[in-house]
Structures are given as structure tokens and as C-alpha cells.
Amino acid sequence: MDYKMELTPEQSAILNGEKGEVMAKVMKTLVMYGEAFGATKMIPVTSEKGHLVTSFGLKVMSPVYDLMDQLIAAGITSTQKFSVDPKPVDPKVPSNFAKNLVFNKFMYTKQDSYDEQLRKLGLVSDDAYTCTCYMDEVGNTPKMGDILSWAESSAVVYANSVLGARCNRNSGIIELFGSIVGCVPYFGLVTDEGRKATWIVEVKTTKKPEAQILGSAIGMKVMEDVPYVYGMEKWIGTELNDAACSYLKDFGAATASNGAVGLYHIHGLTPEAVELGESLIAEGAKEYVIDDAELERVKNEYPVMWKNLDAQPKLCFIGCPHLSLQQLKDWTDNVEVGLKASGKKKVVVPTVFTAAPGVLEEFNKTEYAARLKETGVITSYICPLMYMNNPLCKSMPVITSSNKLRTYTTSRYYTDEEILKIVTGGDK
């Protein structure tokens, strides 16, 4: 088969089998994938670490396990160490015998062996399971301009937008292959032209927009395109501090799950918008105005997937994507205040806050950890989304303030403020 892509001598050598048949297949896959999207060349991956999404030991993923075995048998490892998305189960998270049976005997039967495969291929550490690998406590934070080989939609959109790195939205296997050969196809969001905004979004709300709902509105409108957003400096400022980054983390996850956004620009805040400003806006960009009524419309159209619409919530998940250290502290303060107001000592709905193992380790060193434990809230490294994939969990009335979790599961969305009132026993 003839390829149109211009390859370096080293890349051509790999494709021609000089590093073995398996490596040739890896390069061939990347070349064919890139050409399907119009890529004319491969470019080097420059980030220190990669990130993969394939972290779930599902029984049905046998082709993936076979592929991993082929790589390992050929002595192939990733050229860069990588983090990986969170695990699907955690003994600390409320469950029962039937659910555990489904998890352990029917769904995630390959988890232990898959973890071992990931270790052999280049997993950073056993604490590197998180969807927020870019947190300082995790240690996989790329620099502006870095070319990445990353999967996980919420991590990719954060890296592209908030950090100014460059990565396309590809599958976990494609990104593993990019990490193995050390290069990725040159198209889309890794190109200057592909990072131009084709939508102008003006936020004209009278109060700070809920990050999850604003992101949802934009994602559903622009889909896979790049938006340039005005009007946010009033609500989140012009500095990428902890508060702004936490807001953008949740906002971006919603744009990526309710649409397919891989990059957004916030005027006066995100690095490329600060550096290049309105020159990032492509000619003929479409416009979208978001006011209070538009956000209310979006929220009111969220479907409720519970069998019994009037059911009392049985479980609450906060942290999809995983919470930051500052968010854990803020939620601790808020839960304490909510319990005091309601006259309760502990949360009235089993509540799980999820965060990266590294973030939880730092959190547990603070006085906040003991305070949160007193409220009855559980902390975990789990992936709530994969937990909810259990058919027995789908029938549960689960609540969340994560638009990503709401989008992919039967969980019911409430704002942070509404969630707080529900779990602390206050009025809805």
C-alpha cells in the first residue's frame, strides 16, 4: 500500500519493519489514521508524559488485551511514561453483594491483569489513575506548546485550552501508539489553523454561570468546533488561579461530553487568547449569545432517567472529572455549613467525593480530611461513570453536579447549591 504522508527516515524505517513486525503495525496504524484526517506528516511528541483512557478491565475488551500482549511480547514499551484514567471500582464506595458480583464476576474481570499490562507498557505508578492527570499533585502537567499523545476528552480539552498544549481528540489505543513511536499525525488541533475559533460566544448573564451548564450549552451548540468566549472576566477574572482553573476544568468537561469540543479560548484568560487575542477568530465565525434564559432553557431540557421520578436519592457523586485539592477543601467547608444550617451531624444521602490518588494524599495531610470524615462524606479515586455502568447501578436514583456523569449515565443533575441542600438535609 502506498502512503501519501511524508515520513522521516526513522519513521519510514519503522514502517518498513526495521524495528520488528509489531512496531511496523503500530506505525502503519498511525499513518493510515492520520491520512484519513488529511495529515501530511507526523510530528514528534514533546511532552514528558502521556495519558491513556483505557483503564477499565472490562471482560468485553479482549481485543485490547490481546493487543497489549502482542506489544509486551515484542518487548515494546512506551517512549514516555503515562498516567491513565481512574479505576472503575473502589471498596470504599457504597455497594452490595449483587453489585459486587456483577462488577467482579461479569464486568471488570480483567482488571488485575490489565493493570499489570499497563505497568509493563509504561504506567507511571499505581497512583497515576485519574482523569485529571494535569493536577500538580499528579505530576503530569504539560507546558504551553507541548505536543501530546493523550486520550480522555476532559483532559485533552483542559490541556489544549488552559495549558496551551496541543493534542487531538483520539482514542486511547491511537494515543498509546503515539506514545510508543514518539510521534503523532499532524492535523486538527495540533496545527495553527486548526486552533482558530469558528464560533464567537458572548456570555451575558446577570450572575456567575454554573460551569457545568455553561459548558453544556456551548458544547451542544458548537459541537466539535472551537469557540472564542467573551464575557467571563466578570465571573472568573483574568488570572489562571486555583478557582479559575477548577471552574474551567468542569466547564471544559461539559463542552467535551455534551459536544465534542477539544479546545476553547476564553478572552483575556486562557494562554493563547492572552497571547494572540482576537486574531484567533477565523473569518466568518458564527455567533452564539448566552443569557440567563438560555442557561435555564438548557438546564430544563436535561432528561431525568430515573424509573421513579419522585424517588429519594440513594447516592451522590461529586467529582467527574476528579476534584482539585481546593475543591475538596471548599466542599468540606460548604458541607459543614449546610449541616449546621439543617441541624444534622452527617449527610443524609451517601455522598462520594472523587479525586486523584495524589490529590487525596495531599488532602489527607490537611485538617480538612478529618473534618470531612466527620460529615460522613466518603473520598475515593473511583471513576463514577464506570461505576454507574453496572446495570444494577443504572436503576439507582443517583444525583450529581457533573454534567459529564449526567450525560453518560442515568444520574440526575443538580447544581452545586442544590446538591448541597439535598445531601445535608436542607430544602431543595
Asked if residue 55 has pLDDT above 70, the reply is no
Nearest C-alpha neighbor of 25 from the set 176, 166, 152: 176
Determine the Cα–Cα distance for residues 225 and 265; give it in Å rounded to an integer.
11
Q: pLDDT tens, 69-127?
A: 999 999 998 989 999 999 888 888 887 767 777 877 777 888 888 899 999 999 999 89
Supply the mean pLDDT for the chain: 94
Q: What pLDDT was estimated at residue 412?
A: 96
Tell me how far apart the alpha carbons of residues 144 and 135 are, in angstroms, rounded to a whole number.
Answer: 15
In a shared domain, residues 284 and 323 = no
CA dihedral 236, 241, 245, 246 (to 10 degrees): -80
127, 358 Cβ separation under 8 angstroms: yes
CATH number at residue 350: 3.30.499.10
266/367 same-domain check:
no
Render pLDDT for 123-144 as a digit per residue (tens, 0 to 9).
999 899 999 999 999 999 999 9
158 and 223 share a domain? no
User: How many domains does the chain fold into?
Assistant: 3
Q: Can you give the residue range of the structural domain that contains 160? A: 44-190
Whether residue 126 is found in the same domain as residue 208: no
Q: Per-residue confidence at 54, pLDDT binned at 50, 70, 90?
A: confident
Residues 214 and 149 placed together within one structural domain of the fold: no
Q: How far apart are CA 196 and CA 286, in angstroms?
A: 12
Q: Same domain, yes or no, for 186 and 200? A: no
Closest among 49, 5, 26, 25 to 186, alpha carbons compared: 5
- Model confidence pLDDT, tens digit, residues 232-253: 999 999 999 999 999 999 999 9
Q: Are residues 55 and 185 in the same domain?
A: yes
Quickly state the pLDDT bin for 428 (edges 50, 70, 90): low
**Predicted confidence (pLDDT) at residue 161 exceeds the cutoff of 90:** yes
User: What letter represents residue 103's amino acid?
Assistant: F
Q: Using CA atoms, how far apart are residues 400 and 411, in angstroms rounded to an integer?
A: 7
Given a cut of 90, whether residue 351 has pLDDT beyond it is yes
- Does residue 269 surpass a pLDDT of 90? yes
Model pTM?
0.95
pLDDT at position 11 is 95
Instruction: Examine the fold and report which residue of 168, 190, 212 is the final residue of a domain before the chain moves on.
Output: 190
Are 52 and 145 contained in the same domain?
yes
Q: Can you read off the three cell numbers belonging to residue 149? A: 499523545
pLDDT for res 36: 95
Q: How confident is the model at residue 101, as a pLDDT?
A: 77
Q: Report pLDDT digits (tens) over 322-338.
A: 999 999 999 999 999 99
